[in-house]
């Protein structure tokens, strides 16, 4: 039997709900790829604490994120769906990789530059600086071949490749597999509904611009009806001149399985009101089953925790094997048992 290619991806449990960007930019790809790949999906709580988190809320958001993975179609008996902090090897490999990462190299990560600029130097933690190195550890521990992500993570996957290449050159060519990012061009970036030139983001400044997977249907519909468009009234895709309408068209197309030109034709000469109403139906139709299934799963946290525990055992087995090789190659003395 040929082995399926290994896939790895994760999301931060940094909000009560995932948003349309997470769902369309990543989760939909995960769902499609899980049957053809040996897939590992983590809830990256260790990444989430690189900015301040309330402990009780973090625990709850971690469960909520896992529940949404399952509700959106990730099968935890086939894919390995687990919580990052349950597998200590992530922190251990990250430490080793920190020692081969250049200070300047880490400082060039655009996400770090953005986030640290917003927070100011004193509020910015060393953890936030080292964040992409922990992400490299996530990916490399599992000998990952493909990493499906939105385009904001591309630079981090490139750093991961650089670190793997560097480690392999110094300590043994077959230590790490070099991972490839998988980025779906059309959906790599979903934009904020109120500010359609900025990406939809968990830390977005415009609550009305973010479509949460767990929003009540009436809230989702209201946000879509109020989405920023433009004054020419034409439902036409033009990213540069009509960013609001183009973003709505992308969301419509992905969630309905119809092409953008089909949708443009259907709404030609009909104005934005009709278009938005139809889009609201499409989005609610896609999100509502996920929302109700996620809430059902969250009603039984003990069962959810049990599932995550079983999956963490599976993840640990793979991760520990890689870590043992790494420790050996860098010259750590083996502990006598
Ligand atoms: P995070 O939690 O910010 O986002 C999770 C996934 O959603 C994608 N995404 C988007 N895609 C399209 N449009 C958007 N507006 C949008 N916003 C977010 C992200 O690209 C991502 O795929 N560092 C990662 C988590 C991580 C990880 C990993 C990913 C940690 N270790 C290992 C892959 C492999 C992050 O913060 O994603």
Query: What are 127-181's pLDDT values in tens digits?
Result: 999 999 999 999 999 999 999 998 899 999 999 999 999 999 999 999 999 999 9
**195: in domain:** no
Could you tell me the CATH number of the domain that includes residue 102?
3.40.50.620
Q: Is 152 annotated in some ligand binding site?
A: yes
Question: Quick one: 176 and 41 in the same domain?
Answer: yes
Query: By CB neighbour count within 10 A (0-12 exposed, 13-18 middle, 19+ buried), where does 296 fall?
Result: exposed
The response to whether 45 counts as a known ligand-binding position is: no
pLDDT of residue 1: 54
Residue 205's pLDDT is 77
- For ligand 1, which residues put their CB under 6 angstroms from it? 8-12, 21-22, 25-26, 44, 47, 135, 138-139, 147, 149-150, 152-153, 188-190, 199-201
DSSP code per residue over 287-309 = HHHHHHHHHHHHT-HHHHHHHHH
Residue 194 lies in a domain: no
Asked if the structure places residue 12 within a domain, the reply is yes
User: Which of 8, 15, 24, 26 for mutating ligand 1's site (highest number of atoms within 8 Å of CB)?
Assistant: 26
Q: For residue 251, give the CATH number of its domain.
A: 1.10.240.10
Which residue in the list 202, 223, 242, 276 is annotated as catalytic?
202
Q: How far away, in angstroms, is 172 Cα from ligand 1 center?
A: 30
Q: Would residue 275 count as lying in a domain? A: yes
| Residue 78 shares a structural domain with residue 140 | yes
**165 & 288 share domain:** no
- Is residue 202, in this structure, part of any structural domain at all? no
Mean pLDDT for 305-319 is 98
Which ranges constitute the DSSP H helices of 55-125? 55-71, 89-98, 103-107, 110-119
**pLDDT by residue (tens digit) across 32-91?**
999 999 999 999 999 999 999 999 999 999 999 999 999 999 999 999 999 999 999 999
Instruction: Give me the mean pLDDT over the 304-308 stretch.
Output: 98
Give percent of the chain above pLDDT 70.
99
Q: Which residue spans within the chain are E strands per DSSP?
A: 6-11, 38-43, 80-83, 146-148, 180-182
Q: Is the pTM of this model over 0.85?
A: yes
| Mutation test residue for ligand 1: of 24, 39, 115, 149, the one with most atoms within 8 Å of CB | 149
Is the same domain home to 267 and 229? yes
Domain that holds residue 229: 207-295
* Residues 165, 282 within the same domain: no
What's the CA gap between 104 and 42, in Å, rounded?
28
């Amino acid at each position: 039997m040929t082995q399926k290619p290994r896939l790895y991806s994760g999301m931060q449990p940094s909000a009560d709900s995932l948003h349309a960007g997470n769902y369309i930019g990543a989760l939909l790809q995960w769902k499609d790829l899980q049957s053809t790949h040996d897939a590992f999906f983590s809830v990256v709580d260790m990444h989430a604490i690189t900015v301040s988190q309330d402990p009780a809320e973090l625990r709850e958001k971690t469960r909520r994120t896992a529940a949404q993975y399952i509700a959106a179609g990730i099968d935890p008996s086939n894919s390995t769906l687990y919580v990052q902090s349950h597998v200590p090897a992530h922190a251990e490999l990250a430490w080793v990789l920190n020692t081969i990462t250049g200070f300047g190299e880490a400082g060039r990560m655009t996400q770090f530059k953005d986030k640290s600029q917003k927070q100011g130097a004193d509020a910015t933690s060393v953890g936030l600086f080292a964040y992409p190195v922990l992400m490299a550890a996530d990916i490399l521990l599992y000998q990952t071949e493909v990493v499906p992500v939105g385009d904001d993570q591309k630079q981090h996957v490139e750093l991961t490749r650089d670190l793997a290449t560097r480690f392999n050159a110094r300590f043994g060519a077959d230590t790490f597999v070099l991972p490839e990012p998988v980025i779906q061009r059309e959906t790599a970036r979903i934009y904020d509904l109120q500010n359609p030139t900025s990406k939809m983001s968990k830390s977005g400044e415009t609550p009305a611009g973010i479509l949460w997977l767990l929003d009540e249907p009436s809230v989702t519909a209201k946000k879509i009806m109020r989405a920023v468009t433009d004054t020419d009234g034409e439902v036409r895709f033009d990213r540069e001149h009509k960013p609001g309408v183009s973003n709505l068209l992308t969301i419509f197309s992905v969630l309905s399985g119809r092409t953008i030109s089909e949708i443009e034709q259907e709404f030609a000469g009909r104005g934005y009101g009709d278009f938005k109403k139809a889009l609201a139906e499409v989005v609610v139709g896609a999100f509502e089953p996920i929302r109700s299934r996620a809430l059902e799963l969250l009603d039984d946290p003990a069962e959810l925790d049990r599932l995550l525990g079983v999956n963490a055992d599976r993840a640990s087995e793979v991760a520990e094997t890689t870590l043992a090789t790494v420790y050996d190659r860098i010259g750590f003395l083996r502990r006598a048992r």
